[in-house]
Structure formats: structure tokens, C-alpha cells
Amino acid sequence: MDDDGEAVLKRIMDDGTFDNLRMKVVAQLKKNEELKKFTEEKVLNSKTLQTESARKMQKPELFQKLRKELENAVLEQALKATWEILSDESVGMPELIETKVHEALCSVHEERAAARNQPGM
């Protein structure tokens, strides 16, 4: 079964399915007002921005400090939102993933069966 999993993953990556799914998830994340609001709130309440030295920092340094302070919380929220998208039937992702994985698995099995039935094998 490990070989099947690897073959299916390779197939959905090679045929663009994985990239297509990723783009759909990213599009949904961009529309997620709750995630935007969470991130905005975290930035506005940032300890980094509330320091006196923040006004004197160069942008790269300020962004680096903000990232260090907020990255884990924002990524955790984004991860939760991603799982919600992947499991949300109204978005159609579970069915799409199931269908694409099933198609790839069938294709892998058909190719293996054809290879076994080749004369001289």
C-alpha cells in the first residue's frame, strides 16, 4: 500500500491536481474574513508596535520582529482555517480530493495490471 500511496501522490503532483487544490485553498483563505480580522487584531495589538523603538526601526527589522512575535499564532489560525476548507462539503473540497485520489489510484492499478499482462513479463 505504501507504493500505492507514493504512486498516487506522484500522479496528483505530476498532473497538476495538487497545485489546483492548493490554489483553491489559497483562494478560500484569501476570502476568509475571520482570518483577516484575527491577523489584523494581532498586528494592531502587537507588543512590537507598541514600543517606542518601533517608530525608529527600519521596515525590514520591524517586519522581522512582528513575524517573530505573531507568526505562530497566525499560522495556527491559518492551519485551522485550511482544515476547515479541506473538510467543508459546501466548498466541495472533500469530494474533489476523494475523486482525484480515486482516479489516480485506479490509473496506477490499471497501469500495473497492463504491465503484468505484457508478453514477456
Distance separating alpha carbons of residues 65 and 48, to the nearest angstrom: 7
CA-to-CA dists, residue 53 to 47, 61, 72, 106, 115, angstroms: 11, 11, 23, 60, 68
Summarize pLDDT for 52-62 with one digit per residue, the tens.
999 899 999 99
Summarize pLDDT for 70-109 with one digit per residue, the tens.
999 999 999 999 999 999 999 899 999 999 999 999 999 9
pTM value?
0.76
Q: Where are the domains of the chain?
A: 11-116
